[in-house]
Amino acid sequence: MKYLSVPAMFTNEYLEKLNQMNKENKRGIKIYETYGSIPGYLVGSIRPSNTLKSITKEELFSYIKKGKELGIGFNYIMNSTVLDGFEYNKELKMEVINFIKELVSVGLSKITISVPYLIKLVRKYFPNLHIVASICMEISSLQGLEDVRELGVNSVVMAKDTNRDFKLLRNILKNKGELSIKLLCTTPCIFKCSDLIYHMNFSSIQDNKLKNSYQMTGKVIPHTAVRCQMRRLKNPVEFIKSPWIRPEDLDYYNKIGIEYFKIDGRDKTEDYNLEVINAYMNEEYDGNLLYLMQNYYPKNSLEFLTIDKLPNFKLGVFLDNKLLNNFINYFYNEGNPCNEGCQNCNYCENWKEKAIQIKNENIEKYMKVLLKEEEERFDI
């Protein structure tokens, strides 16, 4: 069996559509939970508040109850990596505990946390609550697994860069005990990105309840987003190296014992998320794999070919998902897990030549915008 954790969109209609997908699926895949949070409320998440749908406590409680009626659980996200030190304030700690009590009373299934202290605090007051160690904890070893087990978690979302290290994943599964292991499928991130920790911290600050006196207002795009995109466009093999998991490749992970998979997209639209979820429910996608990671890429070959005529901007990179069949075999058979560098390995480079198409004029125009943005970031 395979289980999908998908973004919450906080409408009953959305839950009904997910329920219908579950009823119609014949492949042994089930959407078992949605996940989300109230933007900017108490412990934040790693999504800036202004990128998320605004929702009240009452609306959240109603949504959790509706999901429970349909057999779809709810996972509340408290995975901010920076809490401004408020976690040690007695009054604010009580606010968090009382809020979780309210969530549990309406049917909360799970809670996802990044900060070890907060995990221990929640475990103390909620001994029976299912706690998930967030992907932000960067668990990528057996030692890391043992560490969070000691904290009292029930599930672990592995660091995204472990997705293709099948030797490690097999060892993790042998030693997981009662823990459940989950992988993020739809990551656009650069493999082993040096900006990862900073980007998570920056995004956390933008969703925390307490704002310091230097907090920026409005929508701020971090330098990391600009730098990462420039790196990919200058060296397109990075699109291949990104540790995504194709819909067609879920079986490889399921065969070694991984049952739980996560789909990103809390900051996306309902319609877009339903498209992505449908691809993973069907374990098949005919189009641009990058579109399943970010909606600013063309969806299919027709969009790519007519990109200059589209009403909305799309970035001219097309990674043909159908041409990636068998890509995963090398990693599944425990080929180079990519921790020793790429100097003596052209595997991803060869697949780039086979599967990626680029609209040079489109990319050149976009690169000019990025370069201007990059220069302005260092102005004082």
Task: Give the Cα separation of 122 and 93 in Å (integer).
Answer: 10
Would you state the torsion angle of the CA atoms of residues 252, 258, 264, 270, taken in this order, to the nearest 10 degrees?
A: 90
Task: Give the Cα separation of 361 and 86 in Å (integer).
Answer: 49
Task: Give the Cα separation of 310 and 78 in Å (integer).
Answer: 38
Dihedral class, residue 58 (left if φ above 0, else alpha if ψ from -120 to 50, else beta)? alpha
Q: What is the pTM of this model?
A: 0.94
Q: Which mean pLDDT values do the consecutive 10-residue runs of the chain (380 residues) have?
A: 98 98 96 95 84 92 98 96 85 93 96 96 97 97 97 98 96 97 96 84 72 48 77 94 98 98 96 98 98 96 90 92 97 85 89 95 84 71
Identify the helix (H) or strand (E) that includes residue 362.
helix 360-377
CB 260 within 8 A of CB 276: no
Task: Give the Cα separation of 183 and 260 in Å (integer).
Answer: 7
CB 267 within 8 A of CB 205: no
pLDDT of residue 49: 81
Extract the tokens encoding 44. Answer: 């934040």
Distances (CA, A) of 336 to 143, 173, 252, 332: 21, 20, 17, 10
pLDDT of residue 29: 98
pLDDT of residue 220: 57
pLDDT of residue 52: 87
Extract the tokens encoding 173. Answer: 């599964």
Task: Give the Cα separation of 156 and 134 in Å (integer).
Answer: 7
CA-nearest of 308, 310, 311 to 361 is 308
pLDDT of residue 248: 98
Concatenated DSSP letters of 124-145: HH-TTSEEEE-GGG---SHHHH
Helical spans, DSSP H, in 70-151:
90-105, 116-125, 142-151
